[in-house]
Copies of this chain bind each other. A is one copy, B any other.
Amino acid sequence: MKIICDGLDLSDAVLKVSKALGVKKTNPVLEGIYLKAKGDTLTLVATDTELTIEKTIRAEVLMEGETVVTGKFFAEFVKKLENEQVELSAAEENQLKIKYSDSESEMQCFSAEEFPRTDKKINDNFFVMKQSDFKRIVNMTVFACSQDDSRPILKGVLFEIANARVTAVALDGFRLALARANVSGFSAEMKAIIPSRTLMEIMRLLEKDEDELKVTFNKNTLMVSTNGTTLISRLLEGEFINYKQIIPSEFVTNLRVNVKTLAASVERASVLARSDRISIVKFDIKEKLMYVLAKSEVGNVNEPVNVNMEGKDVVIAFNSKYITEFLRIVEDEFIHIFLNSPIAPCIIKPVNGDDFLYLVLPVRINA
């Protein structure tokens, strides 16, 4: 193969596909970026077999062909060629020549035959939604995915499509985050569990909030194509937890509270509570006030937060991290907090509508 292309285009494409480079040393060719010159384009592909990213750029193709370069070194090298016209040629076996200005460098290659091919006929199902909505529902759920390998299915977000709505759900055993948005089109009702890493990489590809995003599916695979970049990912297989039965629907206490005020209080409380193993913050809700309390050997915090309240007084405690992580991403000015008892899950919802729901388990404390 032999091509001439713009250094900035090349560098940008390499950066995009590099996110899918394999890092385990099990198969060295997966640490490579596959290059293919055809027609008037250069296509770059990286894959770790779970996630594949492919990007096509314009190139002057002097000779069609393909090769595989070591991804890490190639990425670093072309990043330093953004101001140059770059000629890539792989005439010799196992050697890529890189020419720019008066210089010529060479890089080791792998055989293109060894590089795994990815099936791109992924069109059994699809949904289409606004990029801004996709970003919102991913942001509001993905943080609650499990980091733990013991239950791999919880490392993904469940996407359920029904009635022109998508419901995204993530949970890790301590909390559950759910977010909903409209879809502007979909092929059929469906469920898919999308790995959190895949969602983060899709987010990175999205450039224009007002544009639509189309996601297509096969049984075990997802594909997104946008701005000349194609991302293909395995889905997580298995049954997701029946989340609906976890979420209580009746409550004895209902609070309406300002998000920023509560977030600031809990963050201050968590500073002084942090000397313990986990940072526990207590809500003492009585007489139309919510006292945010924390205590450790370093000191103690006691902040009254104004709330609109219906129902019974209650004292309940949480790992402060689970409260602050969620409050930081809520864009609403006010939220509703629903409680039953010091040992029952707390539910947070928007004041109007059902765009999100957050469930967090309390920490048992001594009265």
Stretch in contact with the other chain, from A186-194, A214-222, A294-302: A294-302
Check if A107 sits within 8 Å of B73, measured CB to CB.
no
Check if A102 sits within 8 Å of B271, measured CB to CB.
no
Check if A298 sits within 8 Å of B103, measured CB to CB.
no
Check if B264 sits within 8 Å of A80, measured CB to CB.
yes
Q: Say which residue of B81, B102, B106 sits within 8 Å of A299 (CB atoms).
A: B106
Check if B81 sits within 8 Å of A268, measured CB to CB.
yes
Interface of chain A residues 78 through 136 with chain B (CB within 8 A): 80-81, 96, 102-108
Interface centre among A76, A104, A268 (most CB of B within 10 A): A268
Q: How many residues on chain A are close to B (CB under 8 Å)?
A: 30
- Is A9 positioned at the interface, with any CB of B under 8 Å from its CB? no
**CA distance in complex: A104, B293 (Å):** 10
Kindly list chain B residues whose C-beta atoms are within 8 Å of the C-beta of A105. 268, 272, 299-303
- Is A253 positioned at the interface, with any CB of B under 8 Å from its CB? no
**CA distance in complex: A70, B107 (Å):** 55
Known: A76-B271, A77-B268, A80-B268. A298 touches B107 (CB 8 A): yes
Q: Say which residue of B77, B103, B267, B300 sits within 8 Å of A271 (CB atoms).
A: B77
- Is A304 positioned at the interface, with any CB of B under 8 Å from its CB? yes
Task: Find the B residue at minimum CB distance from A300.
Answer: B106
Q: Say which residue of B73, B267, B272 sits within 8 Å of A73 (CB atoms).
A: B272
Kindly list chain B residues whose C-beta atoms are within 8 Å of the C-beta of A304. 102-103
Chain B min CB distance to A38 (Å): 24
**CA distance in complex: A104, B299 (Å):** 11
Chain B min CB distance to A258 (Å): 13
The 3 tightest CB contacts between A and B, nearest first, are A107-B299, A103-B303, A105-B301
Q: A73-B272, A105-B299 are in contact. List 5 more A-B contacts (CB 8 A).
A: A73-B298, A77-B268, A77-B271, A103-B265, A105-B302
